[in-house]
Amino acid sequence: MAVAPNVATLEEIIPRLGRFSRLMGLDLGTKTIGLGLSDVERRLASPLETIARTKFSEDARRLIAAADKHETAAFVIGLPLNMDSSEGPRAQATRAFVRAMAPLDPRPFVFWDERLSTAAVTRALIDQDASRAKRGAVVDRMAAAYILQGALDRLQAIMRASGA
């Protein structure tokens, strides 16, 4: 299977990162896109916003605008694998979204295994006694931050191991 030109690994994006450039995490759903954002040192991820999906061109425009505003160097997008690591329809839809973004924005996408991310965030919100309405309002952007934090932790380990 051909790899889209805008897909990279964490190792491959390191040389493209400016000193203070950020990474943006994406939790792509059928109704929303949760956004998370790293700090400029790429150590901590924070929930940013939730984009209500309409049509692809509008979703892409809003995503690119958010990335431009926050000087984002790359996207880390959750890849919803099945528990047996196979790819189902949601993973295929995520790959299709990334392929469709390729001609619109040069920033690379890094796929990150997002299994159980929404469940972990929901569990944490329940533990904090967040109401169902509150959980619904924040879960997508918190899941995006959770996905991004996993990638940031791995990125830091790679950079430490390489002496960068």
Distance separating alpha carbons of residues 160 and 107, to the nearest angstrom: 24
List the structure tokens of 73. Answer: 């160097």
Q: What is the predicted pLDDT for the residue at 136? A: 55
Q: Given a cut of 90, is residue 114 above it in pLDDT?
A: no
On the question of pLDDT at 117 being above 90, the answer is: no
> What are the distances in angstroms from CA 126 to CA 5, 33, 115, 131?
40, 21, 19, 8
pLDDT digits (tens, 9 = 90+) for 96-110: 999 999 999 999 999
Distance of CA 58 to the CA centre of its chain: 18
17-162: CATH number: 3.30.420.140
Going by C-beta distance under 8 Å and a sequence separation of 6 or more, which residues neighbour residue 29? 53, 140
Neighbours of 6 (CB within 10 A): 18
- CA atoms lying within 13 Å on the CB side of residue 138: 17
Is residue 62 predicted with pLDDT exceeding 60?
Answer: yes
User: How confident is the model over 6-49, as pLDDT tens digits?
Assistant: 899 999 999 889 889 999 999 998 999 999 999 999 999 999 99
- pLDDT for the residue numbered 82: 72
Which pLDDT tens digit goes with each residue over 125-160? 566 655 555 555 567 888 899 899 999 999 999 988
